[in-house]
């Protein structure tokens, strides 16, 4: 059975349409997802009922993005993913799965294998049909990945560069010229007023990330090292749904050998512990730098996100002031930029991941364009830089 080709419709948007291949064993899901994407201006170049059909179709339909269901007959998503990436290096694959503990584990494993993102899918055909948020999340994710693809005339490196030595942090945000291959995509940064050089080590480490974040966060923490991380609490906002964040925290703890879990409301913040914002809830802070306490809330989404990096950053600016050390890693959108202003104004230090090593340079790019980044570094350099700033060797 060959992958079925979807009819094309003219696009009102400028430039070529994003080509999407949809692989799901449910004919209802394939039909709905294809229709929604076509109505959103994408080009669904084919559909497939299992991973083998999708794999065989790659060379013929040449998709930019593959939506790949985890659970399919004959060849499931976990088996098809590495074969797809071997066949088409640089292909952007978004995994789809229902919100279960098992599927969260599998999705995170797929991200480690090279999938670019994941999309939680409602239970059953009825859930897919009636849950409006699934359609909204699907369309937004594909559109943003597509926009990033259009803005990348060069191929993303297959591997990150070798890990450099520790990088010192400057006294003020750096003005970064636009990279030569993309002079039109990075605006001149807004200057931020100089601030005194901090003479004491930070009291907390804050990390914000989204698309591509699970892999990046793990590499950063590993680059800092457990011995140095024991000196500060680590608070992480990774844009993820419920269930996924708990599994993500467990994976981090196992990787770095430190306590790591979803944050709990009213929990005291302690050095050497990793706190991950629970999916679907904002994570803020109250108290003082010496006695900070986690504050969770179910307030409205900020930047279309809950949890939101901006919420954590704003509260941290109030609680920790100049004793904050923060980094924005790969991710879609601009979450974290407004909160970064509060941290920068309070005297904290802010790093951003560079474009070349970001899966999507939305969040860090927004930070850089606003002029709030003290240093813009490739992913392998961020861990050593943070280790030096915290006071490690």
Just list the catalytic residues.
Answer: 210, 239, 335
Residues contacting residue 50 through CB under 8 Å, at least 6 positions apart:
23, 25, 72, 73, 74, 75, 76
Rounded to 5 degrees, φ, ψ at 264 are -115, 145
Q: How many CA atoms lie within 13 A of 362 on its CB side?
A: 23
Strand-pair partners of 325: 205, 349
DSSP 89: T
Residues contacting residue 10 through CB under 8 Å, at least 6 positions apart:
none
**CB atoms inside a 10 Å sphere around CB 211:** 26
Cβ burial 133-155 (10 Å sphere, 16+ → b, else e): ebbebbbebbbbbbbbbeebeee
**Which residues of 246-348 form beta strands (DSSP E)?**
260-262, 274-276, 282-287, 292-297, 324-328
**CB atoms inside a 10 Å sphere around CB 372:** 27
Q: Is the peptide bond before 307 cis (omega within 30 degrees of 0)?
A: yes
Strand ordering across the sheet containing 349-353: 260-262, 274-276, 234-238, 204-209, 324-328, 349-353, 375-377
In angstroms, the CA 284 to CA 309 distance is 9
In angstroms, the CA 307 to CA 327 distance is 16
Q: Sign (positive/negative) of CA torsion 48, 53, 54, 57?
A: negative
Residues contacting residue 382 through CB under 8 Å, at least 6 positions apart:
220, 223, 327, 329, 351, 353
Strand ordering across the sheet containing 92-98: 43-48, 19-23, 65-69, 92-98, 117-121
CA R_g for the chain: 21
């Amino acid at each position: 059975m060959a992958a079925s080709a979807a009819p094309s419709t003219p696009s009102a948007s400028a430039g070529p349409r994003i080509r999407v291949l949809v692989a799901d064993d449910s004919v209802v899901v394939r039909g709905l997802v294809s229709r929604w994407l076509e109505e959103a201006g994408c080009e669904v170049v084919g559909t497939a009922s299992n991973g083998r059909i999708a794999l065989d179709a790659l060379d013929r339909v040449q998709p930019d993005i593959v939506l790949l269901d985890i659970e399919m007959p004959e060849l499931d998503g976990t088996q098809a993913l590495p074969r797809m990436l071997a066949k088409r290096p640089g292909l952007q694959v978004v995994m789809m799965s229902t919100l279960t503990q098992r599927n969260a584990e599998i999705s995170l494993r797929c991200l480690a294998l090279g999938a670019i993102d994941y999309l939680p899918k409602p239970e059953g055909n009825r859930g897919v049909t009636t849950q409006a948020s699934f359609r909204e999340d699907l369309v937004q994710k594909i559109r943003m990945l597509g926009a990033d693809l259009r803005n990348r005339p060069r191929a993303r490196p297959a591997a990150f560069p070798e890990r450099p030595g520790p990088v010192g942090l400057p006294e003020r945000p750096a003005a970064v010229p636009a990279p030569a291959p993309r002079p039109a995509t990075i605006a001149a940064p807004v200057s931020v007023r100089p601030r005194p050089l901090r003479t004491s080590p930070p009291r907390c480490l804050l990390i914000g990330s989204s698309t591509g974040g699970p892999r990046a966060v793990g590499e950063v923490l590993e680059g800092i090292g457990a011995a140095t991380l024991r000196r500060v609490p680590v608070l992480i906002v990774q844009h993820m749904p419920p269930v996924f964040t708990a599994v993500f925290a467990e994976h981090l703890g196992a990787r770095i050998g430190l306590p790591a879990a979803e944050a709990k409301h009213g929990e005291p913040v302690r050095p050497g512990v990793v706190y991950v914002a629970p999916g679907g809830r904002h994570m803020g802070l109250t108290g003082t730098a010496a006695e900070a306490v986690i504050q969770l809330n179910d307030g409205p989404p900020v930047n279309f996100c809950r949890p939101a990096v901006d919420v954590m950053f704003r509260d941290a600016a109030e609680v920790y002031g100049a004793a904050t050390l923060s980094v924005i890693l790969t991710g879609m959108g601009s979450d974290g930029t407004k909160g970064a202003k509060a941290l920068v104004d309070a005297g904290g230090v802010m790093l951003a991941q560079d474009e070349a090593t970001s899966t999507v340079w939305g969040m860090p790019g927004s930070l850089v364009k606003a002029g709030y980044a003290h240093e813009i570094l490739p992913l392998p350099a961020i861990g050593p830089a943070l280790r030096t700033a915290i006071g490690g060797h």
